[in-house]
């Protein structure tokens, strides 16, 4: 059978490099359905509710502000060690269409716990629609992705294996979801150390959440505690911010 050779695009080359960097990371997963009734009520009444990605990014970062392990990465150089970052750095998987091709590019957000939901949501929405050259992180990624393979491998090795550079390149946690396209239980992989995925809101106002993490950094018991705390933060701090942002106007009904 004679097919058609196709050139690998830059966005697809990026994913190939990302998968290569993720090889060998000892990931473990924990999933749970979270009860988000109070959050759903607050979001339904909000004038302009933030997207789910923004809410999960901020909620996880708020949990991480009191859980140093969620800001800890595994570094190989100059010798194997754990490196604690001073603040969270999120890496959000952004789905885009470039040159007629669907692709995913990670957007880096520093200290999301200190941002408002509106600011986070605007940052994520802008990353979905603005030209690649207008997004600093995208420019940085594509500049490296254009390099020849040996130089790309070297750049990724430096970004992955020095603790300080992990925060600059890959962040302390990632968020990825396909809920906007119909849901499903997604188990994505990254170079680590933490990646959060969520599904669609289901019956009983629950949402299924999966956390995958580098087992070299922590164990299952702390992550189980993190899921409990994540549910609490979504229903308290995040819901309260949605309410404070303004509610939908109530229409008068004439009888």
- pLDDT tens track for 183-212: 788 888 889 899 999 999 998 999 999 999
Residue 75 contacts residue 162 (beta carbons within 8 Å): yes
Q: How far apart are CA 200 and CA 33, in angstroms?
A: 11
Judge whether residue 253 has pLDDT over 70.
no
Q: How far separated are the first and last CA of the chain, in Å rounded?
A: 72
Q: Answer whether 87's CB lies under 8 Å from 149's CB.
A: no
Q: Is 50 helix (H, G, I), strand (E, B) or coil?
A: coil
pLDDT tens sequence across 85-139: 999 999 999 999 998 999 999 999 999 999 999 999 999 999 999 999 999 999 9
Burial class (CB in 10 A: 0-12, 13-18, 19+), 171: buried
pLDDT in tens, 51-85: 999 999 999 999 999 999 999 999 999 999 999 99
Tokens 């290569």, residue located: 20
The C-alpha angle 199, 201, 205, rounded to 5 degrees, equals 140
Query: Is pLDDT at 143 greater than 70 in this prediction?
Result: yes
Is the pLDDT assigned to residue 255 strictly greater than 50? no
* pLDDT for 43 beyond 90: yes
Q: Are 128 and 53 in contact (CB under 8 A)?
A: no
Nearest to 90 by CA among 122, 116, 59, 49: 59
Q: Please, are residues 201 and 178 in contact by the beta-carbon 8 Å criterion?
A: no
Percent residues over pLDDT 90 in the chain: 83
Q: Which residue do the tokens 């140093």 mark?
A: 68
Q: In what order do the strands lie in the sheet with 101-110?
A: 27-35, 206-214, 194-202, 173-176, 89-98, 101-110
Asked whether the beta carbons of 217 and 69 are under 8 A apart, the reply is: yes
């Amino acid at each position: 059978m004679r097919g058609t050779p196709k050139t690998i695009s830059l966005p697809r080359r990026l994913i190939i490099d990302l998968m290569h960097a993720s090889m060998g990371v000892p990931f473990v997963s924990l999933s749970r359905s979270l009860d988000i009734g109070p959050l759903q009520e607050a979001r339904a009444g909000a004038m302009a509710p933030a997207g789910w990605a923004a809410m999960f990014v901020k909620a996880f970062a708020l949990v991480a502000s009191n859980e140093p392990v969620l800001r800890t990465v595994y570094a190989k150089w100059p010798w194997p060690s754990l490196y604690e970052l001073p603040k969270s750095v999120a890496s959000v998987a952004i789905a885009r269409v470039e040159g007629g091709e669907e692709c995913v590019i990670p957007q880096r957000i520093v200290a999301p716990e200190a941002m408002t939901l509106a600011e986070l949501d605007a940052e994520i929405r802008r990353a979905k629609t603005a030209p690649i050259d207008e997004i600093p992180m995208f420019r940085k990624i594509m500049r490296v992705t254009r390099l020849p393979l040996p130089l790309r491998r070297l750049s990724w090795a430096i970004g992955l294996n020095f603790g300080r550079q992990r925060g600059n390149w890959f962040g302390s946690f990632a968020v990825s979801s396909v809920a906007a396209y119909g849901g499903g239980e997604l188990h994505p992989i990254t170079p680590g150390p933490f990646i959060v995925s969520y599904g669609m809101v289901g019956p009983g106002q629950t949402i299924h959440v999966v956390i995958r993490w580098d087992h070299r950094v922590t164990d299952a018991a702390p992550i189980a505690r993190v899921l409990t705390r994540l549910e609490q933060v979504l229903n308290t701090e995040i819901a309260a911010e949605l309410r404070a942002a303004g509610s939908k106007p109530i229409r008068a009904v004439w009888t």
